[in-house]
Amino acid sequence: MILHELLDYTTLRLIWWVLLGVLLIGFAATDGFDMGTAILLPFIGKDDVERRTIINAVGPVWEGNQVWFILGGGAIFAAWPPLYAVSFSGFYLAMFVVLAALILRPVAFKYRSKRDDVRWRAAWDWALFVGGFVPVLIFGVAVGNVLQGVPFRLDGDLRAFYEGSFLGLLNPFALLCGLLSVAMLVTHGAAWVALKTTGAVAARARAVGLVTALLTPALFALAGLTLYLWVDGYHITSAVVMDGPSNPLLKQVATAPALWFSNYAAYPFLLIAPALGLVGPLLVWAGLKARAEGATLIISGLSLFGIIATVGVSMFPFILPSSIDPVSSLTVWDSSSSHQTLFIMLVVTCIFLPLVLAYTAWAYRILWGKVDASAIRAGQGHHY
């Protein structure tokens, strides 16, 4: 009870905003290299053995990595119900496409080697490519749309009405963010493949990673410049009530260019996030060049942290702005679950998240080491 009283509503809302970011970054850092590897598969694997080597680089861990995706969706559902309702209904078709692409992955992993036929296996290789490329692109497009504001409104009963379309999501700035997402995770996948394989496969992965590691900060800087010059940010103009009821309609909101950069002026230490997003990929490039495989993967994860965290701290306290009715915008302070719910969820998270982290670390330790193409060629062990 004492802990419950110490963790007031404002603090719990802030903690769950941070936890949501941690889960999203965890998903990008783990399942991200799986999807990046899948995107690379048809291009750096020149024969069946090489492609099987690439697949087996992620085969033992990809299912466990998806836990972060499930945890992120669960956190949105339980901690931020209005965010879940608006985003999953407004982006329904986009989510359907993502899920359809993700379904291809387990099917492709299981069925690819069921037949010793070149065309059969090539078809499943491209299915894995789709299962990696499509979600990565759409996740980036979704972030681009969130930064611009999503066309939804709330009525007096807090019912959400989405007034956009699927094609409307495919606007230039959103597609730019989608390309950034692809470049970012292909770089991460290349770092993973270079770490887990040897020979020609690792060399080709490094060659692609050297290109995308330079493309990532260029796209990140271009997106930032576009955001500063042409995309309106949001600002609460009324009194900010941090511990009030979850009713977005109780505030006033203004929009203007460059407002997404105001948090950096108020708190300069936050500039560490975009700095990591810009410098991190360049350090990845240097690591790939030097063949410092382990350090390169860690730095790639830090660059992902920087890019994703930049979005979060730029928008804070907004989590889903509305482009057609700014007052309906969802913020950290007015779209969460109740104080009691957030507290109970935090206790559960403090118990189970360390278990997930411990199991993940144990699994990676057991499965560590490079994938041996000669063992796959000789048919030794159980391989995809």
Q: Is residue 289 part of a domain?
A: yes
Q: Is residue 367 part of a domain?
A: yes
Residue 323 pLDDT level (bands cut at 50, 70, 90): very high
Query: 280 and 302 in contact (C-beta within 8 Å)?
Result: yes
Q: Is residue 17 part of a domain?
A: yes
Determine the pLDDT at residue 141. Answer: 96
Q: Is residue 84 part of a domain?
A: yes
pLDDT digits (tens, 9 = 90+) for 159-200: 999 998 888 889 999 999 999 999 999 999 999 999 999 999
Determine the pLDDT at residue 59. Answer: 85
| Tokens coding 122 | 């090539």
- Region 11-17: mean pLDDT is 95
Range name among 295-299, 341-345, 372-376 with the lowest pLDDT average = 372-376
Cis peptide before 317 (omega within 30 of 0): yes
Domain housing 190: 2-378
Query: 19 and 28 in contact (C-beta within 8 Å)?
Result: no
Q: Which residues make Cβ contacts (< 8 Å) with residue 255, sequence separation at least 6?
A: 149, 232, 233, 234, 235, 326
- Region 362-379: mean pLDDT is 79
**How many C-beta atoms surround the C-beta of residue 290 within 10 A?**
10
Q: Which of 72, 74, 79 is nearest to 23 (CA)?
A: 72
Distance CA(17)–CA(197), nearest Å, equals: 37
Residue 2 pLDDT level (bands cut at 50, 70, 90): low
Determine the pLDDT at residue 124. Answer: 95
Total domains in the chain come to: 1
Determine the pLDDT at residue 3. Answer: 61
Q: Dihedral sign, CA of 222, 228, 231, 234? A: positive
| Tokens coding 86 | 């608006």
**In 253-263, which positions are buried (b, 16+ CB within 10 angstroms) versus exposed (e)?**
bebeeebbeeb
Determine the pLDDT at residue 293. Answer: 92
Determine the pLDDT at residue 116. Answer: 86
Q: Which residues make Cβ contacts (< 8 Å) with residue 136, sequence separation at least 6?
A: 32, 35, 36, 39, 181, 182, 185
CB-based burial label for 116 (10 Å; 0-12, 13-18, 19+): exposed
- Region 243-256: mean pLDDT is 94
Q: What does the mean pLDDT of the chain come to? A: 92
Determine the pLDDT at residue 5. Answer: 63
- Region 38-43: mean pLDDT is 96
pTM of the model: 0.94
Q: Is residue 54 part of a domain?
A: yes
Determine the pLDDT at residue 22. Answer: 92
| pLDDT over threshold 60, residue 89 | yes
Query: 384 and 55 in contact (C-beta within 8 Å)?
Result: yes
Q: Is residue 336 part of a domain?
A: yes
Determine the pLDDT at residue 345. Answer: 93
Q: Is residue 384 part of a domain?
A: no
Residue 139 pLDDT level (bands cut at 50, 70, 90): very high
| pLDDT over threshold 90, residue 154 | yes
Q: Which of 150, 213, 225, 204 is nearest to 186 (CA)?
A: 213
pLDDT digits (tens, 9 = 90+) for 178-189: 999 999 999 999
Determine the pLDDT at residue 17. Answer: 96
